[in-house]
Each structure stands twice: as C-alpha cells, then as structure tokens.
A and B are shown apart, each in its own frame.
Chain A
Amino acid sequence: MDQKHKDIINEVIGNVFSSTAFMFPEPSDLPDGVNLEEQEMIEVDLNYDGHQDGSLALVVPLVLCKELYDNMSGEDFEEDEVPLEDQLDAIKELLNIIAGQLLTKIHGDKAVFNLTDLMARKLEENEFFELIENQDYVCNMADDYLIILVLSEKRKEYEC
C-alpha cells in the first residue's frame, strides 16, 4: 500500500470515528510488545466488487466496541447492559461508513460498488499476529485503543 492510500485511510478513519463516535484516532505505528492476553480483539470485514474488487477489515479491541456503542447512542450504559450483538453492530456500522467514504475517495464518486454483508468474529492472538505480519495495514490509536484497518484490492485485468 502506498503512502497516498495510507493517508486517505487515516483521514477517513479520523473523520468517521470523530463524526460518528466522538473519538479522535491518531495515526500510529503498532506499539512494541502488543499484549493480547488482557484484551479480546474483534475483526469485522466486508468484501466488495464492481469498479474494483477487494476487501476491508477493521480490527479493534472488544472493549472499544462497547465505548463506540455508548458514544454512538449518546448514553453511558453499564457493561452488562449492552449485549455483545449490539456492541458488534456498532463496530460493523462504523466499518460500513468507512467503506462508503474510503471507496469514493480512492476510486472517485462515479465508481459503483456492491458490498457484501458485514461479518464480525473474535480474532485469536495467533490470527492477529499472522494478520499484521502478512497484510498491509494502517494502524491508529484512540484513547490507547488499537484501530487497525486492512485494505486489500485485487489487481484488475484489462482486455487489450
């Protein structure tokens, strides 16, 4: 991923988190010695096709999902008041908004895309490290929470 795309992703993450959830992520390197023993990581992803085929994945700690839900709802719920399904719904919707903004910024506003349903799952520690070793990602930090976005686009083959 080139720097131009990374800059666009950082800008979109900043805009979407601040306008939707009143959080202000800053671009960051992955902190040294990330310890996942004390925090569950969640991955939400979607695929898209049309003007360009690809996928987007957002990886965040589960505790951030509850905070996002609170901020998006404008209420401060107790931890056990928000079902996991609703916490995941909040982060899925955030990725949905990020996808809409990002694809337009990268490919222009005439490009048409079809998005698949969003899927959320727990990311095991080994899967997390596998992902950051094998994928090109952009890392942001918001209130000490990791926010990782992976954009992967397939190379289009054109007929001559």
Chain B
Amino acid sequence: MALNILIVDDSRTIRNILVKTLKLTEIDIGEIYQAGNGEEGLECLRENWVDLVLSDLNMPVMTGFEMIDKMFEDELLCKIPVVVISTEGSVTRIEELKKKGVRDYVRKPFTPETIGEIIASITGVICNGSKA
C-alpha cells in the first residue's frame, strides 16, 4: 500500500527537497501533502488520511512542538508516526520529543539515505519498494 506523507516545514525549499528525497527512496509513495506550519499541518491531518508526518520544529504561527502536543492529545492523530526533521541539536530537547512519542529525529542537513532508512524502519517498507 502506498504511503501518504505530510511534510510540515515553513521553508518551501526544504519541502521541495524532501519531496525529491522521498521520490529518490523508491518507497511506494501515495500523496505527499505539504504544510507551512503546525496549524496548517493539523488542518491537513484532519482532512486527509496520512500515514506518516515529517515535521520541522521552529515555525511561525504554530511550532512543531505545539502541533505534536495537539496530535498526541487527539485519539486518532496520536496514532500517526511523527519524525522530526530539524536543525535542533540539543539532546535535552530531542529526548523530550522522544518521551512525548516522536518516533525519530533527523538533523538538518539530511541525506536521502537517512530519510529512506528511517521511513523504512517505521513503516516496515523496504526502500526498494517491496514490503517487509
């Protein structure tokens, strides 16, 4: 089954890079939704079926931290795995995120391989497109 993925990042450049990166992984991707901040991200999650969220942290309007908190308060949205992709380098903050339930963390700049491996480990989808 193809994965529907939501990318939440205020940088359009990064969203474009992530879209290309996802296509490079050869994972069977369905829809790729994009949001420029946490509020838009939540709106998208409420309107669409999403299998995985890739989210930045520092964003205007609503940060990734706030969006993740709201997702984990929601009985449906809390089941969607979240991977944080950010410049955050503080282990203290990364541990906090993992305690909240964030599945993994990727520090920018990232490589397509890292993104592919993480998605594979979370979803059980092998990067060559076949299923685990």
Within 8 A of A (CB), among B66-93: 86-93
Task: Tell me the residues in window 106-135 of chain A with beta carbons closer than 8 Å to chain B beta carbons.
Answer: 109-113, 115, 117
- Interface set, chain B 1-50, CB cutoff 8 A to A: 11-14, 16-17, 20
Are B13 and A69 in contact, CB atoms less than 8 angstroms apart? yes
B12, B13, B17: residue with the most chain A Cβ atoms closer than 10 Å: B13
**A152 at the B interface (CB under 8 A):** no
Q: A90 to B12: give the CA distance in the assembly, Å.
A: 8
On chain A, the number of residues with a Cβ less than 8 Å from chain B's Cβ atoms is: 26
Instruction: Check B87 against A97 for contact (C-beta < 8 Å).
Output: yes
Cβ-neighbour of A96 out of B17, B58, B91, B92 (below 8 A): B58
Name the residue of chain A whose CB is nearest to the CB of B17.
A72
Given A20-B109, A86-B12: A110 and B17 interface contact (C-beta under 8 Å): no
Q: Within residues 80 to 104 of chain A, which ones have a CB less than 8 A from any CB in chain B?
A: 86, 89-90, 92-93, 96-97, 99-101, 103-104
Contact A97-B109, Cβ < 8 Å, known A86-B13, A90-B13: yes
Q: Does A39 contact B (CB under 8 A)?
A: no
When C-beta atoms are compared, the residue in chain B nearest to A73 turns out to be B16
12 residue pairs A–B, Cβ–Cβ below 8 Å? A19-B109, A69-B13, A89-B12, A93-B11, A97-B108, A100-B88, A100-B107, A110-B92, A111-B92, A112-B92, A112-B93, A117-B60
